[in-house]
Structure 1
Amino acid sequence: MKEDGSAGKLELISARAFEPYDQMYRVVDFLNKSLKDRELVFGLSRDEDGKMVIAIYKT
């Protein structure tokens, strides 16, 4: 646990919606594996319009 009591808490840095494409999850997986040592986590979700949203979080 961190000293400030925020164990496991993610801070949203930025999010952006894109038109979906089949391999988008592979890009997010690559980013997560490549940048985990920099305390960054990438998420992928779908919004209400069907667009894919990539979010960047700091751990």
Structure 2
Amino acid sequence: MESKIEVLATVQIQYSPDLYKIVDVLNRTLKERDLMFGLALDDQDKEKAIFTIYKT
């Protein structure tokens, strides 16, 4: 059985060292609702982060 991951939303935000804490609590709290959250540094601007919401 194949698992399909769908991107629901993506936003570029100012990077902060504590952003991972928000992503972590969202992932732990909402995984039962088939939601997953991701955070990555922007390749072009390391002061920006890309926050993505996925439906699993």
* TM-score normalised by L of structure 1: 0.84
Aligned residues: percent identity? 41
User: What is the aligned-residue RMSD (CA, Å)?
Assistant: 0.8
Detail structure 1 runs of 4+ shifted over 6 Å in the superposition.
Answer: none
Aligned residue number for residue 54 of structure 1: 51
Find the aligned partners of 2:39 and 2:29 in 1 and give their Cα distance.
16
Secondary structure of the corresponding residue to residue 17 of structure 2:
coil
Unaligned runs of 5+ in 1: 2-6
Q: Which amino acid aligns with 2:16?
A: Y
* TM-score normalised by L of structure 2: 0.88
Q: Which has the higher strand share?
A: 2
